[in-house]
A and B are shown apart, each in its own frame.
Chain A
Amino acid sequence: MNCEEARGKVDAYLDDGLSTQDVRELETHLNACRDCSAALLRAVQWKKQLRAAGKAFVPTASFRQRIYDQVQAKPKKAWKWNWAPLTAVLAALVVATLLFSVHRQDRLTAKQTFGEIADLHVATLASQSPVDVISTDRHTVKPWFQGRIPFTFNLPELNGSNFSLIGGRVAYLRQSPGAELIFQVRQHRISVFIFQERAIAESLPGSAGDLHQLTFTMESWTQDGLRYFVIGDAGRQDITALSDLLKAAARS
Chain B
Amino acid sequence: MAVTLEGVSNDQTFEAMSLPLLDQLYNFAQWLTQDRSEAEDLVQETYAKALKSFGLFQPGTNFRAWMYKILRNTFLNTRTGMRAATEPIEDDETMLPPVVETPETLMIQNVEQQILQAALAELPVSAREIVLLSDVEEMSYQEIATALGIPIGTVMSRLSRARRTLRELVRKKLEVKA
Contacts and interface: CB of A to CB of B under 8 A. Distances in A.
Interface string B127-139: 0000110111010
Given A46-B108, A59-B40, A17 B47 contact: no
B145 to A, nearest CB: 11
Interface in B104-136: 106, 108-111, 113, 116-117, 120, 131-132, 134-136
A39 B101 CA distance: 9
Contacts of A162: 5-6, 8-9
B156 interface: yes
A59 B160 contact: no
A75 B12 contact: yes
B113 A53 contact: yes
A49 B116 contact: yes
Contacts of B43: 59, 63, 67
A42 interface: yes
B136 A50 contact: yes
Of B8, B14, B140, most buried by chain A (CB within 10 Å of CB) is B8
Interface residues of A, number: 44
Interface stretch (B17-25, B70-78, B85-93): B17-25
Nearest to A6: B98
B15 interface: yes
A102 interface: no
Nearest to B9: A162
Given A47-B135, A67-B44, A53 B98 contact: no
Contacts of B48: 70
A50 B131 contact: yes
A7 B14 contact: no
Given A71-B51, A75-B12, A4 B100 contact: yes
By secondary structure, the A interface counts as: helix
B27 A16 contact: no
Given A47-B135, A54-B120, A17 B23 contact: no
A7 B136 contact: no
Interface string B145-160: 0000000000010011
A81 interface: no
Contacts of B98: 4-5, 7-8
A58 interface: yes
Contacts of B138: 51
Interface residues of B, number: 54
A55 B6 contact: no
A250 interface: no
Interface in A184-223: 184-187
Contact of B8 (A47, A55, A186): A186
A51 B113 contact: no
B26 interface: yes
Given A8-B95, A70-B44, A164-B12, A56 B163 contact: no
Contact of B47 (A57, A58, A71, A163): A71
A10 B159 CA distance: 13
B30 interface: yes
Nearest to B12: A164
A42 B99 CA distance: 13
Contacts of A45: 109-110
Contact of A55 (B97, B136, B160): B136
A71 B135 contact: no
Contact of B135 (A7, A51, A186): A51
Contact of B30 (A52, A56, A163): A56
A64 interface: yes
A40 to B, nearest CB: 12
Contacts of A72: 15
A54 B136 contact: yes
6 contacts: A7-B100, A8-B97, A50-B135, A70-B51, A72-B15, A185-B9
Interface of A: 4-5, 7-8, 11-12, 15-17, 39, 42, 45-47, 49-59, 63-64, 66-68, 70-72, 74-75, 136, 161-164, 184-187
